[in-house]
Amino acid sequence: MCGIVGYSGPGNSVNSIIEGLSRLEYRGYDSSGICLKLNGELQVIKKEGKLDNLKEILNKMNPSSHTGIGHTRWATHGAVTTDNAHPHGNEIFAVVHNGIIENASILKKELQAEGWEFKSQTDSEVFLVLLTKFYKQTSNTLQSISKTFNLITGNSSFVIIEKASDKLYGIKRSAPLVVGENKETREAFVSSDPFALVGFAPNIYFPQDGVICEGVVSETEVKFNFYELDLKPSTRIKSQANAMTMDANSKGDYEHYMLKEIHEQSSLVDKLAGFYIKNEGRKVIEDLDKSIPAAFHITACGTAWHAGLVIKNYFEMDNRIRCFVDIASEFRYKNPILNKKEVGLFISQSGETADTLACQELCTEQDIASYSIINVEGSTLFRNSTKNFLIHAGREIGVASTKAFTLQALTGFLMSRAMSKTLDKPEVYQEIITLSQRINEVCENSEQYKTVAENIFHKKGFIFTGRGTYFPIALEGALKLKEIAYVHAEGYAAGELKHGPIALIDEDIVNIAVVGPELFEKTVSNVEEVKARRGVIVTVGPKNNSELEHLSDFYIGLNFDGLPNLAPLMVNVVLQFVAYHIAKLKGTDIDKPRNLAKSVTVE
Ligand code: AGP
């Protein structure tokens, strides 16, 4: 999703803006740009492609400016071109935008009929033209922002600078926006992500929807003013010290953030168990058994949805609590049947996924309590939920989610144990420690998965299969491979292949079959059906198994002992490595795969 950084202060805005945008590159984008106040004028410099293209231009210009805004664009309306890149500017204002203006085409037609001209195909430029129109009528920036914002619909955040002053302005609706101050250095910052302000702004503020933020830097101080749309002072802001650190921003000895994050899982699993069973997380989870809902409505997107399917198994098998699991973009429009005795459970790494946020809002409108399983404290979902279950994964930089999935599912497992009052049973903590150890063993065997990848990466297609809780693992394994290797892969319930997909099988198709101890023989039969049609067989199952040895072209044996519930999370790490090594052989951009964004803040 788009990245936004704004700066005003005694320093050179270029440095802070480019540093901030660099930190947001992991979110995914396809063009970038900056607008600087230079000699009293607004100068826009923008370029399609990677941020390095913009840096190259700036290095030649070597501009020095005290006020500016920058943007990395993930295209929603309009092709990936320099004209469509942000900022959008004219002689009065410059604007950057994250999100979608849903009524942009109607507004654009009306403005064009009034004689206003447009330079781009974007919805974002409509905000600039409206703002300019109202400013020409009122000569008042705050009034113009209010009038403009009242007219547009959709989830968006906007940051604005103007020729008339060195102020920073920001406003948002169901999209991320944070403002920051450094009172010591008299600097003001705005961004779509607090991570961009780490080390710059000790104090950050999260404005609520519809609050106009105005950052003012004078000779003696820096201050943000906040206004409602009627321009009365607003108090709808949450402030906090910027507790984030920079350590997440280094790959250490790893070639990719994704590889680092795969390797972090073992220790993070161990820490999460300690957090919820022995430390401060205990009080968050332990009263779950006092208000067990009639049902959970689990909604999420992508990998988080797969984690929801795993959690459904835990809640229904352990607690006999009915769980509905929906893809968020489906749930929000299906007029779901909800009951006040039920709970909405929203799973999200970023806490900013538009479809998931919309589901949370839908539940809130119907007085349904909202729980979140979430990684980013202070995110929109975090602030809007009744109860938050943090996964403490640390910053996940790789666009393809790895450690977040494992910790989302594990948090769900811990919640299921809390609801069945078995959190303190020794075998619960022991199983999690065993999982941590087994994931570590998997990480130590990475070379084996690399060899498998070398033998299959050139194949035409991949079908991941599993039964029971291994079915969502098959879905997640397929998604990982699609995301980072750009190859066609599907996840299927193992018993389902004979109902159609088996027609795909030939010597150019690989079946990566997860064969768990449960329903072992039935799953082996499914694999035999594929083998009979010359499919390439990769199995991931219990080690030292002669049947799997004989059946497989490539057999990855694991120790499932001591993991009656959490083995699927161990298996998933193997699939993460297989995807990683295939992607490396394909030479793709593993940490920032094409077309993808880390947080999809638009519909
Ligand atoms: C996972 O590898 C993908 N990056 C994507 O499916 C992601 O899980 C999905 O967009 C949901 O994101 P969230 O967890 O931040 O809500």
For tokens 């202070």, name the residue. 378
In 3D space, the residue among 83, 178, 95, 77 whose CA is nearest the CA of residue 135 turns out to be: 95
pLDDT exceeds 80 at position 27: no
Q: What is the DSSP string of 59-112?
A: HHH----SEEEEEEE--SSS-S-TTTSSPEE-SSEEEEEEE--TTHHHHHHHHH
Confidence at residue 85, expressed as pLDDT on a 0 to 100 scale: 86
183 domain residue, yes or no: yes
Domain containing residue 176: CATH number: 3.60.20.10
Q: Does residue 143 have a pLDDT over 80?
A: yes
Query: 248 falls in which pLDDT band (50, 70, 90)?
Result: low
Residues with CB under 6 A from ligand 1: 301-304, 348-350, 353, 356, 399-401, 483, 599-600
Which two tokens mark 19?
A: 């540093």
User: Are 392 and 471 within one domain?
Assistant: no
Query: Which residues does the annotation mark as catalytic?
Result: 2, 598
Q: What is d(CA 603, CA 329) in angstroms, rounded to the nearest whole number? A: 8
Indicate whether 244 pLDDT > 70. no
For residue 488, give its domain range: 445-594
**Separation CA 498–CA 49 (nearest Å):** 44
Distances in whole angstroms, Cα of residue 107 to Cα of each of 91, 118, 125, 426: 21, 12, 11, 62
Residue 109 lies in a domain: yes
Atom of ligand 1 nearest to the CA of 399: 4
Ligand 1 pocket check: which of 192, 353, 406 to mutate, most ligand atoms within 8 Å of Cβ? 353
> How far is it, in rounded angstroms, from Cα 350 to Cα 244?
14
In the reported structure, the alpha carbon of residue 43 is separated from the centroid of ligand 1 by a whole-number distance in angstroms of 36
Atom of ligand 1 nearest to the CA of 350: 15
Instruction: Out of 74, 195, 349, give the residue to mutate to test ligand 1, the one with the largest number of ligand atoms within 8 Å of its CB.
Output: 349
Calculate how far, in angstroms, residue 305's C-alpha sits from the geometric centre of ligand 1.
8
What residues have CB less than 8 Å from 62, skipping those under 6 apart? Answer: none
Please count the other Cβ atoms lying within 10 Å of the Cβ belonging to residue 492.
Answer: 22
Confidence category of residue 1, pLDDT binned at 50, 70, 90: low
First to last CA, the chain: 11
Tell how far the Cα of 113 is from the centroid of ligand 1, in angstroms: 41
Is the pLDDT reported for residue 63 higher than 70?
A: yes
| Domain-embedded: residue 602 | no
Query: Do residues 9 and 95 share a domain?
Result: yes
Instruction: Categorize the per-residue pLDDT at 175 as very low, low, confident or very high, splitting at 50, 70 and 90.
Output: confident
Clarify whether residues 267 and 179 are in a common domain.
Answer: no
Is residue 131 one of the residues assigned to a domain? Answer: yes
Indicate whether 86 and 235 sit together in one domain. Answer: yes
**78 and 206 assigned to the same domain:** yes
Shared domain for 458 and 395, answered yes or no, is no
Residue 4, pLDDT score: 94
Task: Give me the CATH number covering residue 539.
Answer: 3.40.50.10490
pLDDT over 90 at 271, yes or no: yes
Residue 599 maps to a domain: no
Is 601 domain-assigned? no
What number does the ligand 1 atom closest to the CA of 404 have?
Answer: 14
Residue finishing a domain among 391, 410, 439: 439
Which atom of ligand 1 lies at the shortest distance from residue 401's CA?
A: 2
> In a 10 Å sphere around its CB, with 0-12 CB exposed, 13-18 middle and 19+ buried, how is residue 139 labelled?
exposed
**Domain match, 128 and 214 both:** yes
Atom 16 of ligand 1, residue of closest alpha carbon? 348
Q: Quick check: 75 pLDDT over 90? A: no
At residue 148, the pLDDT reads: 98
β strands within 311-414, DSSP E: 322-327, 343-348, 369-374, 387-390
What ligand 1 atom has the least distance to the C-alpha of 480?
2
Q: What is the pLDDT of residue 245?
A: 55
Output the average pLDDT for the chain.
93
Kindly state whether residue 364 falls inside one of the protein's structural domains.
Answer: yes
305 and 158 in a single domain? The answer is no
301 CA distance to ligand 1 middle (Å): 6
Examine the domain organization and report whether 492 and 530 are in the same domain. Answer: yes
> In this predicted structure, what is the pLDDT of residue 379?
82
Mean pLDDT for the stretch of residues 146-153: 97
Closest Cα to atom 3 of ligand 1: 400
In a domain, 421, yes or no: yes
Percent of the chain with pLDDT over 70: 98
Q: Cα dist. 174→242, 528, 533 in Å?
A: 21, 50, 50
Per DSSP (E only), the strands in 107-186 are 156-162, 168-173, 178-182
* Ligand 1: residue whose CA is nearest its atom 7: 302
Residue 193: the pLDDT is 87
At residue 158, the pLDDT reads 97
Q: Check pLDDT > 70 for residue 243.
A: no
Number of domains in the chain: 3
For the cut 90, the answer to whether the pLDDT of residue 596 exceeds it is no
Q: Which of 348, 401, 405, 590 to mutate to test the pocket of ligand 1 (most atoms within 8 A of CB)?
A: 401
Q: Sorting pLDDT into bands at 50, 70 and 90, what band is 494?
A: very high
Predicted confidence (pLDDT) at residue 312 exceeds the cutoff of 60: yes
Q: Which is higher by pLDDT, 287 or 448?
A: 448
Residues 520, 557: one domain? yes
Domain end, chosen from 439, 455, 485, is at 439
What are residue 214's phi and psi, to 5 degrees?
A: -130, 110
pLDDT the model gives residue 311: 98
What spacing in Å lies between the alpha carbon of 452 and ligand 1's midpoint?
A: 27
Q: Are 224 and 127 within one domain? A: yes
Determine the distance separating the centroid of ligand 1 and the alpha carbon of 172, expressed in angstroms: 22
As a whole number, mean pLDDT of residues 343-356 equals: 95
Residues 181 and 259 in one domain: no
Q: How far apart are CA 182 and CA 221, in angstroms?
A: 9
